[in-house]
Amino acid sequence: MDQPFERVPPVLQLEGLRMQYPGAEGPTLDGLDLALAPGDRLALVGPSGCGKSTVARAVLQLLPPGSSCEGGLQLAGRDPRMLQRAALRQLRGEAVGLVFQDPMTRLNPLLTIGEHLRDTLVAHRPAWGRRRSVARAKELLARVGIAPERYASYPHEFSGGMRQRVAIALALALDPPLVIADEPTTSLDVAVAGQVMAELRDLCEESGSALLLITHDLAMAGRWCERIGVLDQGKLVEEGPSGRVLTAPASPLARRLVRAAREREGSQAAAPEATPVLLELEDLRSWHPLPSLPWNPRWLKAVDGVSLRLHRQETIGLVGASGCGKSSLCRALMGLAPVRGGSVRLEGQDLRRLRGRALQQARRRIQMVFQDPLACLNPQMAVGEAVADPLLIHGLANRSEARERARAALAAVGLEPPEAFERRLPRQLSGGQQQRVAIARALILEPKVLLCDESVSMLDAEVQAEVLELLRRLQRERGLGLLFVTHDLAVASGFCHRVIVLDGGRIVEEGPGATLLAHPQAPITRRLVEACPRLPEVA
């Protein structure tokens, strides 16, 4: 007689989960149903504010005091809401491994990589001796592609990709039945992101862990997960096989997200008419001294002989692997990193020959928009004050005039009416609204050149499209030249008039983005193109 089929209990089961933050007008999760069995790989996608990251916080009960959380919640067969603090801490560590967006938020800069792993092991395996815990820590490093000899290294000695590998090792240290990865590759270039996700997938398969991937990148979701769930206002509006969701989405939201992602991949910016040169770099070098003997100096050649011309109303994309010099070039142009040679001419004026007030006035014409707006906005300063602040710093307006110009700047970036936004703190805005504030702050000094360093990488497809269209409009209206740093070749191809590929601080290839995607020549360009996740073709 055949044995009856034995159903494997789910690792995670949510039934009608409803979660509301204290002081919020409505629930962030509103009747969410979700189940993951051992070995499942599910990607949760959706617009900013839909509740993706809140799912992880609710599962682990990492919620602020006063939050309400009702409905069914089972994690590895237990309800974390019913546990005392010690039991809950143990469940969090052993039932779920967390991989965060920025590994430095989890890594203590004062502890070595090995000490991080040993702390986790000792906390949950107190009977293990030092020799066994050290051996296990080195084994984990080897599993994620890091030489065990780096056990005594500190986080700042690792690249972004290596730090994310350490985060994966920490997440899998106790072989948890569930791994939650919340935007784990946002700050990584496509080649490193592909390596990190491949390692995460393989390790989950080895241990039989389920993977819940929280991401705004539909192409990445389809590449690494078997199923995709689409979240909208705290509800799962669609769930199914990744190929079906990406080629034949059923819900209105999924159709909008897929359409925005396809438009981003398929568009190509038209070359601007012949316009004056705004910024000209000749053999620019930004080197940093490395520890060395006085008679044998050594240098980190972050930017090593870059020459380019940026015209009025032109956008140049800067792409390359982590550490290639993209952000270092922007910091050198902003005066935040040393320039060791070459020239920087802004509207014909050599910035390296200027001093004092003349240099300060010239530098107002180059401004920067950073990847994470929360990192460049004072969390205690209302957004109206944050936008007006540069005018006060440079003595260009009194407080009343600065407030009025700040309102105009907020309106120009689509935050209307500005009176409804100027008194809010940054954390009271969505991700897209925060980035609009950062753009308004950068534009308040009326620059000629705008440096955008991964300025849309943290945004979902729809908001990303809105911010890119905003930048296009502002460029047309103000004649801006844009240097657009990104690790996303699809964005670079669609948004930029030209794309420059950097490797080792040097330009190794340049041309129209579509040409580089279709016919990459340099080895690094070929690796980036091969690693770039793309949406599947519609039959």
One domain, residues 284 and 255: no
Indicate which CATH number applies to the domain containing 353: 3.40.50.300
Task: Report the candidate in 114, 144, 244 with the shortest Cα–Cα distance to residue 538.
Answer: 244
What DSSP letter does each residue of 89-151 carry, written as one string? HHHHHHHEEEE-SSGGGTS-TTS-HHHHHHHHHHHH-TT--HHHHHHHHHHHHHHTT--GGGG
Last residue of a domain, one of 218, 238, 266: 266
CA distance 321 to 108: 25
Domain membership flag for residue 20: no
pLDDT digits (tens, 9 = 90+) for 91-122: 888 899 888 877 766 788 899 999 999 999 99
Q: Report the DSSP pairing between strands 506-511 and 498-503.
A: antiparallel
As given in the structure block, the two tokens for residue 127 are 């009977």
As given in the structure block, the two tokens for residue 46 are 């959706």
pLDDT digits (tens, 9 = 90+) for 156-209: 888 777 888 888 889 888 889 999 998 888 767 788 788 888 888 988 888 889
pLDDT for the residue numbered 172: 86
Domain membership flag for residue 374: no
pLDDT for the residue numbered 256: 92
Query: CB count, 10 Å around CB of 487?
Result: 27
Last residue of a domain, one of 266, 288, 320: 266
One domain, residues 172 and 290: no
One domain, residues 431 and 480: no
One domain, residues 82 and 105: yes
One domain, residues 64 and 202: yes
Last residue of a domain, one of 251, 266, 281: 266
One domain, residues 139 and 129: yes
One domain, residues 452 and 441: no
Count of domains in the chain?
3
pLDDT digits (tens, 9 = 90+) for 514-536: 889 889 999 999 999 888 888 88
One domain, residues 189 and 275: no
Domain membership flag for residue 12: no
pLDDT at residue 1 is higher than 50: no
Domain membership flag for residue 15: no
pLDDT for the residue numbered 5: 46
- pTM metric for this prediction: 0.79
Question: Residue 271: which pLDDT band, with cuts at 50, 70 and 90?
Answer: low
CA distance 146 to 103: 15
pLDDT at residue 58 is higher than 80: yes
Query: Is 380 in contact with 425 (CB distance < 8 Å)?
Result: yes
Query: Is 320 in contact with 288 (CB distance < 8 Å)?
Result: no
- The residue segments making up the domain with residue 205 are 25-266
One domain, residues 160 and 173: yes
One domain, residues 194 and 338: no
What DSSP letter does each residue of 422-450 carry, written as one string? TTS-GGGS-HHHHHHHHHHHHHTT--SEE
One domain, residues 348 and 408: no
Question: Residue 392: which pLDDT band, with cuts at 50, 70 and 90?
Answer: very high
